[in-house]
Amino acid sequence: MSSSASGENQLNSEREAKFVSSAAEKRRLLAEVTARINEEERSKTRLKKTFDDNEDELAELSTALDRRIGDLGELFGVFRQTADDTQGLLLDSLVSLEYPERRETVQALAQSTEVPTIEEMRALWQLLIQEIAESGRVTKFEQEVISPSGEVRVAEVVRVGTFNAITGDKYLTHLIDENTLSELPRQPVSYARSSAMTLSEASDEATTFSLDPSRGALLGLLVQTPSLMERVQQGKVIGFIIIFGTLVGLLLVLERWMRLARIEGRIKRQLGDMGSVLDDNPVGRVLGAYYENMHLQDLETISRKMEAVIVKDVSAITRGLPIIKVLATVAPLTGLLGTVVGMIETFQSITLFGTGDPKLMAGGISMALITTVLGLVAAIPLLISHTFLTSKAGLLSKIIGEQAAGLVATKAEELAAEKLERADRG
């Protein structure tokens, strides 16, 4: 019993010692935790003070930043606006054909969302200075050119400032999206193309050049301008009828003029030699009729014989002139018919489609105007030609009549002299 109690006491003592030791350890750990908590509290106090100080400093810095960025914000807005305007200017400029890299530069400047740096502002300024300088220069360089058929070739291009680009005697248009050049499908008049060729072949000497001051806008409108044949086709069937009548009339005018000129020349040759009879002209045929019948003593019969020849020749001289007059009269009336038909088509288009799209009415209006113009263009020269030919025919008829009257008068004098002589003998 005693040994068992002793062992139990020893065990309890050991357990008590362990509890005492554990309590001391816990007190030590508690003291360490308490100290750490106190240290963290002091650190929190310090950090809070630092945070509050930083908040105050940040507020002061934000105020200063807002105050300073006010001017920079205005600068940024101006820079972006200028960069956007410059981008549009350079993309449309012919100078970009020689310096294609500046398109990327100005696009990067225009798309920037940050406050511009000194280098970026200097780059924009340099692009503007370059554009101003190049606008006053005439330069030559190699560039791809697209022909109207779609063929691409490399050609020597002459750039005249920022206005026009040419190759040889061909004017070119700037394709902005592709940054390349294309020949105009329809070129300007010959003198403009001649000046372009002169400039292309020039080296340093001064030359004249037909410049488009609208930077290609007028040349662009040239492509949309109908040619003469396209204008005529707008007159449709009535327009071609007027043209056909005009051609017939002009051919008749030419034939009549040549014939009257030939008759006039032969008459002058006959008048220069009245002693001989030439039967290739009206006066010569009148002389022939007179000489064939001059043995007759009846003046009335001689006059009738000569009158028959005169009527035949005068009819030949005036042949075809009434047809010319009819064509000159009908042409403007046919043009008026085309005008009425064109206006009917125009009103039909208005009835069906309204007046929203003027292009739908353009066909009828074009027909109305073109046929009117064609009718007047046909009538004016035909009317003038008819007046001229009628005057010349009247002059020739007058000469024939005067010569015939002179021959009749001469014969009458001879008959009167013979009659007087017979009376004296009787």
Q: Which residues contact 62 (CB under 8 A, 6 or more apart)?
A: none
Q: Which of 177-181, 207-211, 360-364, 410-414 has the lowest mean pLDDT?
A: 360-364
pLDDT at 318: 87
Write down the mean pLDDT value for the chain.
83
Question: In total, how many domains does the chain have?
Answer: 1
- Domain for residue 113, yes or no? no
What share of the chain in percent tops pLDDT 70? 93
pLDDT at 356: 65
Structure tokens of 16?
């008590």
DSSP 8-state symbol, 138? E
DSSP 8-state symbol, 250? H
Q: What angle do CA 247, 251, 254 make, to 5 degrees?
A: 140
CA distance 204 to 241: 54
Domain of residue 401, residue span: 233-425
Amino acid in position 138: V
Structure tokens of 157?
């291009």
Looking at the DSSP assignment, which residues form a beta bridge with residue 255? Answer: none
Q: Which residues contact 306 (CB under 8 A, 6 or more apart)?
A: 286, 289, 290, 293, 404, 407, 408
pLDDT at 73: 67
Structure tokens of 236?
């449709």
Q: Which residues contact 178 (CB under 8 A, 6 or more apart)?
A: none
Structure tokens of 94?
């012919």
Q: What angle, rounded to 10 degrees, do the helices at 236-271 and 359-425 form?
A: 20
- Domain for residue 41, yes or no? no
Q: What angle, rounded to 10 degrees, do the helices at 321-353 and 236-271 form?
A: 170
- Domain for residue 409, yes or no? yes
Determine phi and psi for 391, rounding to 5 degrees: -65, -45
Q: What is the pLDDT of residues 127-150, one digit of tens each?
A: 889 889 888 888 888 888 988 888
- Domain for residue 26, yes or no? no
- Domain for residue 48, yes or no? no
Q: Given pLDDT bands bounded at 50, 70 and 90, which one contains residue 176?
A: confident
- Domain for residue 308, yes or no? yes
DSSP 8-state symbol, 274? T
- Domain for residue 354, yes or no? yes
- Domain for residue 218, yes or no? no
What share of the chain in percent tops pLDDT 90? 11
DSSP notation for 184-222: -SS---HHHHHHHHHHHH-SSS-------TTTTHHHHHH
- pLDDT (mean) for 64-80: 72
Q: What does each C-alpha distance from 234 to 135, 359, 371, 379 come to in angstroms?
A: 42, 14, 8, 19
Is it the case that residue 86 has pLDDT exceeding 60?
yes
Q: Give the helix/strand (H/E) hosting 402.
A: helix 359-425
Q: Given pLDDT bands bounded at 50, 70 and 90, which one contains residue 299?
A: confident
Structure tokens of 47?
């950090």
